[in-house]
Amino acid sequence: ISISLGLPTKMAAEATKILERLADPKKTLFTKFDIKDSTVLKVIKLVKQHFESEPNLHQLQGSWTVVGDIHGQFFDVLDMTRRFGIPHSTRYLFLGDYVDRGLYSVETLLYIICLKAVYPDHVVLLRGNHESREITRCYGFYEECITKFGGVNVWQACMELFDLMAIAAVLDNELFCVHGGFGPKTNTLDQIRLFHREVEPLKDELMQELIWSDPSEEISMFETSPRGYGCLYGDMATENFLKENELKGVLRAHQLCQEGYQTHFEEDGSWMALTVWSAPNYCYRCGNVASVVDYRGGGKDSVVKSLKFFNAVPEEGRVKPEIRENEYFL
C-alpha cells in the first residue's frame, strides 16, 4: 500500500515524517520499530493543543467521511485512507476506538494523530470507550507501548491526550455523532456541551452513557447495559432524544456489524440510529466487511446511500509481529 500525503494545510514537521514512515511501502518500520518516544511526545503535545481549543460537541457542516471503530488494525486504516482520501482532500470524523485488540495500536494511533497534527481542520477525533486507562491496560495498548518505547511515558501521554478528546458532534444540524449513544443523564445537547470531559470514563457516569451505551430493539426507554457500563436505550428513548434536540438520527459506532453497518429502530425504511463499523475482519477472525459513511450532505436520508464498503487487506499486504503472547478478543 502506498499513499501520497499531498500538500498539508498546516505543516507539522515531526508528524509529517512519521506519516511518511508509516506509509512507506517497504514497511521497514514494522520489522524494527525505531520511532523515538521523544518524537512521539512532541506530536502528542501539538495535538493536545488542538484538542484543548475544541468543544465537547463539534458542530460540523458539509462533507465528512465518518469512521467507526478501527482498533489497531493499521494496514486496514492505511488502506481506508488510500481509498477515500488523505485529509488534504477529505475531511474525516472518527467516532473512537483507535487502539486495543489489533496488532498495531501504536502505529494506528500515531497515524491518526499525525493526520490531526498536519491537517487539524480536516480531522475530528472523538473519544471511544477504549480511550481509557483501565481498558487499555486490559486489551493490549498498554503492553504494546511498554514493548515499543521501553516505559510508560508515551502511554501516559496518550491517556492525557484521550482526556482532551471531544465527545460528540452534530453533523448538518441533523445527525448526532458519538461513539456509543446517550442516556437518561445525557439526553440534551446542552448537558453534553457543559460537562467536564477530562475524566477517566469508568469513573464518570455521564461519560459512560455517551461512549459505552448501545441501542436495543427489546426495550422502549433505558435499561442497565450488560457491558457493565453505560446503558441500553430503546426506540422511545431515542425518539424523545431526537425530538428534544431537534435532530433526525444518531450515527454511532461501538458494535461489530458483520455487514459493516446496522440500522436501528427502523420503520417504513426510516431509521433513528445507525451503527458504522470500520475494522474489516475484526481481530483477524470475524470475517466481517467494514464501511465508512462518505457523507456529502443531504441529511439523514442520504446516510445509507453514502455507505462505502471495504474488505481487509490481504495477508501479503500486511506484516505480522514475530511474537504475540496474548489475545485481546472479546
Residues acting as catalytic residues: 130
Q: Write down the residue that cell numbers 499513499 correspond to.
A: 3
Q: Do residues 250 and 237 make contact, with C-beta atoms less than 8 angstroms apart?
A: no
* b/e map 228-239, b = 16+ CB within 10 Å: ebbbbbbbebbe
* Residue 169 burial by Cβ neighbours in a 10 Å radius (0-12, 13-18, 19+): buried
Displacement of CA 167 from its chain's centroid (Å)? 11
Q: Is 266 helix (H, G, I), strand (E, B) or coil?
A: coil
Q: Write down the residue that cell numbers 507539522 correspond to.
A: 12
List of residues 6+ apart from 204 with CB closer than 8 A:
none
List of residues 6+ apart from 87 with CB closer than 8 A:
115, 118, 119, 122, 123
Radius of gyration of the chain (CA): 19
Q: Do residues 14 and 8 make contact, with C-beta atoms less than 8 angstroms apart?
A: no
Residue 257: count of CB within 10 angstroms of its CB: 21
- Three cell numbers written together for 138: 486490559
